[in-house]
Amino acid sequence: MSTIWNFSTRAKEVKSSVIREILKITERPDIISFAGGLPAPELFPVEEIKKACIKVLDESGSKALQYSLTMGHLPLRRAIAERISKRDGIKVTEENIVITGGSQQGLDIMGKLFLDSTSTLIIEKPSYLGAIQAFNSYRPTYITVGMDNEGMLLDEMEEDIKKHKPRFIYAVANFQNPSGITMSLKRRKRLVELSKEFYTPIVDDNPYGEIRYQGKDLPSLKSLGGDNVIELGTCSKIISPGLRIGWIVGPADVMLMIEKLKQGIDLHTNTFAQYVVYEYIKTGQLDEHITKIKKAYGERIKVMLEALETYFTKEIKWTKPEGGLFLWVELPQGNSATDILPKAVAQKVAYVPGKPFFVDESGDNTLRLNFSNATPEMIVEGIKRLGKVFKENIK
């Protein structure tokens, strides 16, 4: 019966995320998966979260289980504002923070806030698949901007902005998903200049900013652009993704608009999870925990880069990220990472083909590798298998 219901245009257009579909397959325990974006579960602070749960329920049980305010739990908003103020050396207060159900909800809210079906927005090429999926449901037109090792190419940005009047510019400035590329300081400054000149907001999706393994932190787009920049953050990579706690940082008046939209979206984010995350942050263990994560992932990327040198033939190129969870591989033009994937899965190793990260259907010779979820031993074995698959299958 339902097949003849009259659905919305967006619902009829929506495609399933290739990544989510692949995650289902690669959950088989015999597969070494570089496909997902999963943090290492053995590093989750399970005992500390348990302590936080007990404390929250003992001390504030009836509040933590009750409805709460749409913008989020005030102490958590303050704690996040403090962290960002400290990082950027600028004044951010709770008025600049809305707590979201992970930063994926932040992306959906950006779409809801800015996009009509007649709107354009600028995104990197490639760009984060989950963002494309969130924005797609508002049916905008994408203007894509290529990337090199310094991030977004800005040569044509001014012209693009003048011509297309984008509602916003979507960037992942730090250790981009999928490419692992970090935007250089020069580009950051220029992007902010253009944003100011043309009153075009930048949305900086920043889930990985705190997990850098080498090199020096660069000033955030937020610190350079102030109220021209909305930043999306999350606990997913530094505490736990299952708790679905993210945040939006932006101008106070825009936060009030978001509050109204979020009332209709879900009333508010999980109260209990907000209390628990705040309790965990309050204990002061977060920075220590991040250090631990950085050490583990820093080792894993090193192992993966070494394995790539050993097992991949020289016509294959890859990026060398200084942080984040992903690196990006380019097979010689004319090869399809999509077509080769089933052969890799047959050899019990998986990756994500790059094509879904491009809104223009290009990039089929690319693929994304995650290095945070598998142990170093599995990484070596997995890259060895993958090297063999590519050797046998690329033209």
State the helix-helix crossing angle for 337-346 and 376-393, rounded to 10 degrees.
120
Nearer Cβ to its own copies (134/308): 134
110: Cβ–Cβ under 8 A, 6 or more apart, which residues? 134, 135, 168, 170, 203, 230, 232
Residue 229: both structure tokens together: 């920049």
Q: Is 239 exposed, middle or buried (0-12, 13-18, 19+ CB in 10 A)?
A: buried
Instruction: Map the footprint of its own copies across residues 263-292, applying CB under 8 A.
Output: 263-273
Which uninterrupted H or E stretch holds 16? none
Nearer Cβ to its own copies (177/236): 236
CB of 188 closer than 8 Å to CB of 228 = no
Q: Residue 212 Cβ, how far from its own copies at the closest point, in Å?
A: 22
Cα three-residue angle 314-315-321, rounded to 5 degrees: 75
Nearer Cβ to its own copies (37/363): 37
Q: Residue 136 Cβ, how far from its own copies at the closest point, in Å?
A: 7
Instruction: State how far the Cα of 116 lies from the Cα of 119, in Å rounded to an integer.
Output: 5
Instruction: Map the footprint of its own copies across residues 3-62, applying CB under 8 A.
Output: 3-11, 14-17, 20, 23-24, 36-39, 41-42, 44, 46-47, 49-50, 53-54, 57-58, 61-62
Nearer Cβ to its own copies (135/328): 135
The CA radius of gyration of the chain, in Å to the nearest whole number, is 21
Taking CB under 8 A as the criterion, the residue among 126, 151, 180, 201 binding its own copies is 201
Nearer Cβ to its own copies (14/185): 14
Per-residue x/- marks for its own copies, 68-97, CB under 8 A?
xxx---------------------------
Q: Residue 203 Cβ, how far from its own copies at the closest point, in Å?
A: 11
Q: Residue 191 Cβ, how far from its own copies at the closest point, in Å?
A: 15
Q: Is 191 exposed, middle or buried (0-12, 13-18, 19+ CB in 10 A)?
A: buried
Residue type, 217: D
Q: Residue 230 Cβ, how far from its own copies at the closest point, in Å?
A: 9
Nearer Cβ to its own copies (106/151): 106
Instruction: State how far the Cα of 266 lies from the Cα of 345, in Å rounded to an integer.
Output: 38
User: If binding is defined by CB under 8 A, does position 228 make contact with its own copies?
Assistant: yes
183: left (phi over 0), alpha (psi -120 to 50) or beta: beta
Q: Residue 365 Cβ, how far from its own copies at the closest point, in Å?
A: 25
Residue carrying structure tokens 């806030």: 113
Instruction: Map the footprint of its own copies across residues 126-185, applying CB under 8 A.
Output: 130, 133-134, 136-138, 165, 167-168
Instruction: Map the footprint of its own copies across residues 325-364, applying CB under 8 A.
Output: none
Nearest to 37 by CA among 111, 174, 129: 129
Which stretch in 66-74, 155-163, 345-353, 384-392 sits in contact with its own copies by CB under 8 A? 66-74
